[in-house]
Structure 1
């Protein structure tokens, strides 16, 4: 839906896209405008494994639309689908070359950091390092469960949040491979949001979502100054 912000209230709702499959889990939910002026939307498979490979379903996809809700003429399948074969994509971010990347929840571990290419298949319900006509992740978190909530590109690096992983990680790429990775924060509990804005990085916790152990001051937004 699109709203108008008026006196700190959202008014005049216009529904741009409806009937996206949903469930208790795996609902995606990220919306972000890209450098091309198009709106990108992540959707989960809504616990239906077959939907991610079905190009007639809006589930398990990254969708792309014009600001007015219409389908861009250069979309790959003459519908809203931009990429498919996703389980539960959460974060979206573009690098300095306007290349789209996404963070995605895996089933048990196997969370993914993906380079998103228009029209490509990311394989779900198959998982990391699959064989076939699929795009494998740039980074597959096989050694622990991160449960990435958000993704930001900031001063040349990607920052991905961890819900179950309870951390903020920095990924530095070279030729689309992770060359350096480090934990930036690990003492805030569940971290859902990360946003780059005017030279600073903002992080939002999610300890009161029913799965965390909230402290008295939770939840909070933290402002970071990243020094390379």
Structure 2
């Protein structure tokens, strides 16, 4: 297996040295904030002239590993709670209503599976899609929302390989109504290179779970060679960006293209050549653990679990500038990032996931203005 040294000081490959802490791989427990020997207090400055992200307030507290966020047409949001396996409705002023639990969701504290990403069908507040870890597999289900509660849960895509880690789990609808699904390699990297396997991929399916028309290989695979993608977002030009966990060398922000091979497990980070696609941004694996990603105002915002910060990555077409870290260590592990209807970001903490250090009121959703 090849490993490549990370490039530093390039605008297109934004390698950031932020937290020099040892850690486990994958979602990686954060160091205890009370230990100054392992938790430096770095500072970061924004690009000159840019508006610095600011915490405008806390939307809600007391959530259980908030993972997916889907905004309803009226401005409220549906939020998935990973280990509890439930969906809550959260208003902009912080009122919460539990809609119900998703039967079969198997979340284990300290693990990586459970009730993960969610996405509402375009133009339809009554139909929710969710990525669920069960005892047998990872799967995508379609859920009817009946008034203020969850109705029928119908599996539309089953058999995504399951392991103790690397579930992927992000869902994102395209403008054409097709659903993009990120999957992890389930701990078996070779599956990521098998274009007929559902593991280690970005999948593109219709709303019944079938391969979408126009896919590059005649199956559900859109791109392959991925280790574990937990973040997907479109930019304003319709380009698809993905945040991906590395193993030993490089966490990645990738620009996803139809039919692309992103190299895992042959290459981690920048490999180059041989038909493999390099990441646009890399971080050292002691610095980030990228999970959710959102794009607004020509900028990608990436939640960092191990890095305990929100990374701001300026975008210029298919290129990216140097990442800048915000709120480092202030709120613990950062999981998901979503653009709210008012243009602010909703940013979730992930300190109750068994790998963080819970603080009073965790987990919470922060409102960040950009």
User: With structure 2 as the length reference, what TM-score do the two structures score?
Assistant: 0.59
- Which secondary structure does the structure 1 equivalent of 2:191 belong to? helix
Q: What do residues 78-134 of structure 1 show as CA deviations (whole Å, max 9, x unaligned)?
A: 111000000001100111110101000000341000000011100000111113210
CA contact (8 A) 2:142 2:153 kept: yes
Structure with more relative contact order (C-alpha pairs < 8 Å, separation 6 or more): 2
Tell me the distance in 1 between the aligned counterparts of 2:249 and 2:286: 6
**Matching residue within 281, 291, 300 for 1:139:** 281
- Which secondary structure does the structure 2 equivalent of 1:17 belong to? strand
Is the radius of gyration larger for structure 1 or structure 2? 2
Partner of 1:203: 347
Deviation at 1:7, TM superposition (A): 3.4
Partner of 1:9: 149
Partner of 2:356: 212
Tell me the distance in 1 between the aligned counterparts of 2:162 and 2:285: 29
- Which secondary structure does the structure 1 equivalent of 2:323 belong to? strand
Alignment partner of 1:116 is 2:256: yes
The count of aligned residue pairs is: 226
CA contact (8 A) 2:251 2:285 kept: no
Partner of 1:162: 304
Counterparts of 1:1-228 in structure 2, within 5 Å, are: 1-125=141-265, 126-131=267-272, 132-142=274-284, 144-186=286-328, 187-198=330-341, 199-226=343-370
Where do 5+ consecutive residues of structure 1 fail to align?
A: none
Tell me the distance in 2 between the aligned counterparts of 1:162 and 1:25: 18
Deviation at 1:182, TM superposition (A): 1.2
Tell me the distance in 2 between the aligned counterparts of 1:108 and 1:7: 47
User: With structure 1 as the length reference, what TM-score do the two structures score?
Assistant: 0.95
